[in-house]
C-alpha cells in the first residue's frame, strides 16, 4: 500500500515522525512536503496531496496542519476526495467504515503515539460497503448546488 503525506509548517514534525513510522511498518510513502518549519500555505499542500490520490499515485493520504481543520477543508474542495479530520481511533475507524474516507487530516500538535494509533486504524479499516453508506456517498458525490432535496 502506498500512502501520500503532506503538511504545512505546523505539521512538519508530525509528518516526519509518521513517515518514519510508516516506512518501518512496510508502507511505501510519498512525501509531498513541506520540507521545513518555515511558514507556508496549507491549501497548496492539500491540493498536491489530493491530486496524487486522484491520479492513483497513492492509495490513501494523510494531511497535517496546525489544527487539521484548514487542510481538511482544502482537501474536501477536490472532487473525489473524502477527507476526515480525526482526533481518535474511533473516528478513524468510523470514517473508513461509513464514509470511505481516502484522506486523513490530523492536528500537527497531536502526540506521536496517538497519531500512530489513528493512522494504523485508518489504513487497516475497510469500507463497510453498507447500502445506506453507499447511498449517502453518492448523494455527496452527485451534489452540484441548489436544490438539496428533502428537508
Domain count, the chain: 1
Does residue 43 belong to any structural domain of this protein? Answer: yes
Q: Is residue 147 part of a domain?
A: no
Q: Is residue 61 part of a domain?
A: yes
Do residues 101 and 112 lie in contact, with contact meaning Cβ atoms separated by under 8 Å?
no
The reply to whether 149 falls in a domain is: no
CATH number for the domain harbouring residue 39: 3.40.1400.10
The beta strands (E) that lie in the chain are given as 2-7, 28-31, 60-65, 83-85, 103-107
pTM above 0.85, yes or no: yes
Structural domain contains residue 150? no
Domain presence at residue 127: yes
* Cell numbers linked to 25: 511498518
Cα dihedral: 40, 34, 80, 118 (round 10): -110
pLDDT tens sequence across 38-94:
999 999 999 999 999 999 999 999 999 999 999 999 999 999 999 999 999 999 999
> What's the sign of the alpha-carbon dihedral 148, 68, 76, 98?
negative
Identify the domain containing residue 87 by its residue range.
2-142
Residues 107-148: pLDDT tens digits? 999 999 999 999 999 999 999 999 999 999 999 999 888 766
Residue at 95 is within a domain = yes
Has residue 151 got a pLDDT over 60? no
Q: What is the pLDDT of residues 38-54, one digit of tens each?
A: 999 999 999 999 999 99
Of 103, 36, 35, 99, the C-alpha closest to 68 is 103
Amino acid at each position: 500500500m502506498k500512502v501520500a503525506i503532506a503538511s504545512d509548517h505546523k505539521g512538519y514534525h508530525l509528518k516526519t515522525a509518521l513517515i518514519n513510522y510508516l516506512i518501518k511498518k512496510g508502507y511505501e510513502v510519498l512525501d509531498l512536503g513541506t520540507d521545513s518549519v518555515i511558514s507556508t500555505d496549507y491549501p497548496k499542500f492539500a491540493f498536491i496531496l489530493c491530486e496524487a490520490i486522484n491520479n492513483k499515485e497513492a492509495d490513501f493520504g494523510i494531511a497535517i496542519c496546525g489544527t487539521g481543520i484548514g487542510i481538511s477543508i482544502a482537501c474536501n474542495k477536490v472532487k473525489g476526495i473524502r477527507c476526515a479530520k480525526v482526533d481518535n481511533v474511533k473516528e478513524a475507524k468510523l470514517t473508513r467504515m461509513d464514509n470511505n474516507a481516502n484522506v486523513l487530516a490530523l492536528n500537527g500538535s497531536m502526540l506521536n503515539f496517538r497519531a500512530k494509533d489513528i493512522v494504523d486504524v485508518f489504513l487497516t479499516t475497510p469500507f463497510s460497503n453498507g447500502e445506506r453508506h453507499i447511498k449517502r456517498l453518492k448523494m455527496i458525490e452527485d451534489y452540484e448546488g441548489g436544490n438539496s432535496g428533502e428537508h
